[in-house]
Amino acid sequence: MNLSTDFTLSKFINTKKIAAYYELTKPGITLTVLASMLIGFILGSGSEVDYLLLLHAALGTWLIASGTAAHNQFLEWRLDGKMKRTQKRPVPSSKITPQQSVLFSMGLMVAGLIYLIAVVNYVAGLVSLLTTLIYLGIYTPMKRVSVINVFIGAIPGALPPVGGWAAATGHLGSTAMWILFGIVFLWQVPHVMAIAWVCKDDYTNAGFQMLPRNDPGGYKALALILPCLIALIPVSYGLYYVDMNSWLYLGGALASSVVFLYYGLLFARDRDKASAKKLMFASFGYLPAVWAFVILDLLLL
């Protein structure tokens, strides 16, 4: 008799459930948060980077950022179910129950906050707490009330480099740190507006008050997008001005800002979904490009 036993991993571990919980953390957005935190930490550290402290800061930030993303999906799971782009997320697709998602998200957020305060420093912990409170307590409900949510959401989105700086230094008193905040803040407005234009039908169906809903000609969106794209040029120059980075960063950051502005001008000309999609993809590349030039500048010069 040929007896065989199937000791596959899936027999003992529900891999689909684990994948659903991982999806709940919005890995792409969390990676962006970690990258921005890393830039703030490295620039705040100066010539001496404490890599063990960086590892602790990254772990704590990942925990609280993942929990925040997961809790956002818990708060909006009914609305997510009304949009094509989000209806397959773990909660609206019933891969995870709302009760499971809230326990998971709260556990991650509390663990991340305690870890940052206990192992890194209380300033980094408070910055992360403020990020979560603004994102979940103000921005998330404001998305259903007013288009001002774009600017409110840009605040917690721009705080990760501040948190990284705080983790490295234990304080928030630096011009360079606020320049980093400014870069991410100004990037986010055209980034979010472009996504809102591409997905405007979905947002309207779900009841989100995104600008394209009341701006068919695109002129109001343009009034928000272009000033931010133009302002990115002098603000990105700021890191060079305060001697945080040299000409290599400056050349790359200015070139990236000009390219980003170019796609904003295309949207200004056409103000349609096709030009918004081009601006959206340009926004996907802008921040990674600027951060790459920051790192290359520090490594090579």
Would you say residue 209 has pLDDT above 50?
A: yes
Residue 170's pLDDT band, with cuts at 50, 70 and 90, is very high
Please report the pLDDT score of residue 10 as a whole number.
54
Question: Looking at the predicted structure, is the pLDDT value of residue 6 above 50?
Answer: no
| pLDDT over 60 at 68, yes or no | yes
The dihedral formed by the CA atoms of 289, 293, 294 and 295, expressed in degrees to the nearest 10? 100
Give the pLDDT confidence of 261-271 residue by residue, as tens digits: 999 999 999 99
Query: What are the structural domain ranges in the chain?
Result: 15-169, 174-301
* pLDDT over 90 (residue 205): no
Yes or no: say if 101 and 24 are a contact pair by the CB < 8 Å rule: yes
- C-alpha distances in angstroms, 37 versus 46, 168, 184, 251? 15, 10, 11, 23
Give the percent of the chain with pLDDT over 90.
Answer: 75
Does position 24 have pLDDT exceeding 60, yes or no?
yes
pLDDT value at 110 more than 80: yes
pLDDT of residue 134: 97
pTM: 0.91
pLDDT at 2 over 90: no
What is the CATH code for 174-301? 1.20.120
- Phi, psi (degrees; rounded to nearest 5) at 237: -65, -25
Higher pLDDT, 140 or 207: 140
- Could you tell me the pLDDT band of residue 212, with boundaries at 50, 70 and 90? low
- pLDDT class of 81 with cuts at 50, 70, 90: confident
Give the CATH H-level superfamily of domain 15-169.
UbiA prenyltransferase (1.10.357.140)
Q: What number is the average pLDDT over the span 123-140?
A: 96
CA distance 178 to 68: 23
Tokens found for residue 98: 């709302």
pLDDT of residue 84: 83
Average pLDDT over residues 87-108: 94
DSSP string, 128-195: HHHHHHHIIIIIHHHTTT-TTHHHHHHHHHH-HHHHHHHHHHS----HHHHHHHHHHHHHHHHHHHHH
113 phi and psi, to 5 degrees? -65, -45
The predicted structure's pLDDT at residue 85? 82
Q: What is the mean pLDDT of residues 204-212?
A: 68
Better-predicted residue by pLDDT, 196 or 60:
60
| Mean pLDDT score of the chain | 91
